[in-house]
Amino acid sequence: MRRRTIVPLALTATTAVLAMTLPAGAATKPLSFRRNVLQDQKQYGEPSVAITRDGKHIAVCVPGGTGTTSVWYSSDDGHTFDTSHTNSDNGGGDCELDFMPNGTLLNADLEVSDSAIRYSKDFGKTWQGTQTAGIEQDRQWFAHSKDGKTAYLVYHDFAAEAEFYAESPDGGITWPTALAAQPITNADQVALPGNGAGRAGDPASIVDQGVNTFSGPMLISPDGRDMYVMYSISDAKSNVVDGIPPFGPTRGIVVAHKGSETGSFTNRYAVTSDGTATNGAIFPWGTIDKAGNVYVLFNSDKGSPGHFHTYYVVSTDKTKTWSVPVKVDDTPLTKGAQIYATGAAGAKGVLDLAWYGSDNASSPADNSAVWDIHFAQVRNALSPHPAITRRLVAPGDPMHKGNICLNGLLCIAGGDRSLADFIELAIGPDGMAQIAYSDNAGTFTGTKGRVVWAKQVGGQSAYDTSTTVIPPVTVPGTKTTTPPGSKNTGGGLAATGLDRVLPAFALLLLLGLAVVQRRRRTTG
């Protein structure tokens, strides 16, 4: 009887300490997602997602075909969506969305000769003010200044395959011609040697860049003082020998940086190749955390040709140096294929990623491959030993079957490009990830595929700075590991802040044992 009274007492005290020391907002549910399948329609590739600063409104768009883009908008956290469309004479190409800090929603519709920009003052319900931005171009991305007074549209042009950006001085309402084609690539890169030789942090080469550029997003630092643009390129040798001239595989990933104290961009390699590895596959992705650290997310087949995997590198000194690549997926290096990495950063050292993955594919060209949408959260990402939590967004519900072509426009020569070339992840103000992705694994009435929106509803917020993350409940498709050879700083504790209360728990346990021993001595 004495043991029964002592142990509950200790447990009650421990529970009280836990209640007092658990951090606000700590994860109490396993990592999980809820999904909303947006209405079926003809176009479903390359969806873009945007979230208002207060988190009340969400918008998703895809190219809508000749002259239009399709937009889904929600005012109830994605439980329901309504639809609208934008129209332009030569549009219907790539679409891109961005909510400005004041709630204005921008939509860029690729016209090839430029982009048609429209804006919505009612969160996507109606559209107005068609303007053109930029010169002839491919794949455009929005960004905006911290105060929202300036909007940017970054792109690369078809002729020189150089990187440019357009600028709007009034938050995206007008786009002056004088600011339509500001260069990111610099002329002093021409003299550099080609073939991607060198190390991360070295100046990038226009000789390598050639006519094969894949544009990634523009990033603005949290303090508004720094601007970054990323893009993947091939190399001079590959453009002639290894590809369909002049289009070789993407070998290096470049990040251009301009600070408030500099007048032009510096273009440096963040990822280089040994001349055989393909990096990018196909667009690189980038993000920046609340502390200003810059991340490049990408897929690479380094070490195992054809078996692409998901990686990130990070720079803490404004692109001067970069970390070694960290492999995020847990599929063995010589198996499977992981492509179309996307992501966003939250608090310092916290990174959310999503990608298309097939754990058993022989390569992306495998016609028998079955693909799922994968998610991972990396914590302590600045450390050589980050903790990585992984989960399938929709376990048991694949989003594609068969091959996925990574040759962009050259897929007309063969291969399945029905999903187009990327997906998109964003983090809402609640710290939960939202993902817009394409799904054509099933049979859909009257259409060939659909757009799916998914939101993280369990697991840890990306704005929670805790470094210990292991799901408190084991669920299918969820794993927490660290890279091979590293130490798991989590120590096996659940993601409920137990790492912070372990000393208190240990003290109570010792006190309880002392009481037991004392009672044994006095009653023996």
Of the ranges 194-208, 355-369, 430-444, which one carries the lowest mean pLDDT score? 194-208
Q: What are phi and psi of 340, to 5 degrees?
A: 60, 50
Residue 156 pLDDT > 60: yes
Mean pLDDT, the chain, integer:
84
Q: What is the pLDDT of residues 324-339, one digit of tens each?
A: 999 999 999 999 999 9
Q: Which domains does the chain have, with CATH numbers?
A: 47-156 (2.130.10.10)
- The 8-class DSSP code of residue 234 comes to -
Q: pLDDT at position 302, please?
A: 95
User: Which helix (H) or strand (E) is 439 found in, with range?
Assistant: strand 433-439
In contact, 371 and 357? CB cutoff 8 Å: yes
Q: What's the confidence (pLDDT) of residue 468?
A: 53
Report for 24-38, 64-78, 299-313: range of highest mean pLDDT: 299-313
Q: How many residues does the chain have?
A: 524
Q: Measured between alpha carbons, how far is 68 from 6 in angstroms, rounded to an integer?
A: 71
Give the pLDDT score at 477.
52
* C-alpha–C-alpha distance, residues 122 and 183, integer Å: 33
Span 277-299, pLDDT tens digits:
999 988 999 999 999 999 999 99
Q: How far is CA 164 from CA 108, 231, 271, in A?
A: 15, 11, 21
Q: Which percentage of the chain shows pLDDT scores above 70?
A: 82
The token pair at 151 is: 């909007």
Q: What is the CA radius of gyration of the chain?
A: 25
Q: Are 378 and 387 in contact (CB under 8 A)?
A: yes
Q: What are phi and psi of 6, to 5 degrees?
A: -75, -45
Average pLDDT for residues 454-461, to the nearest whole number?
97
Contact 355, 341 (CB under 8 A): yes
DSSP structure class, residue 275: S
**What is d(CA 51, CA 344) in angstroms, rounded to the nearest whole number?**
13
- pLDDT category of residue 409 using cuts at 50, 70 and 90: confident
Per-residue pLDDT averaged across 438-467, rounded?
89
- What is the per-residue pLDDT for 251? 92
Q: CA-CA-CA-CA torsion for 198, 202, 208, 211, nearest 10 degrees?
A: 150
* pLDDT recorded at residue 480: 52
**pLDDT of 497 strictly over 60:** no
**Which residues does residue 326 pair with via DSSP β-bridges, in sequence order?**
312
State pLDDT tens for residues 225-275.
999 999 999 988 888 888 888 888 999 999 999 998 888 899 999 999 988
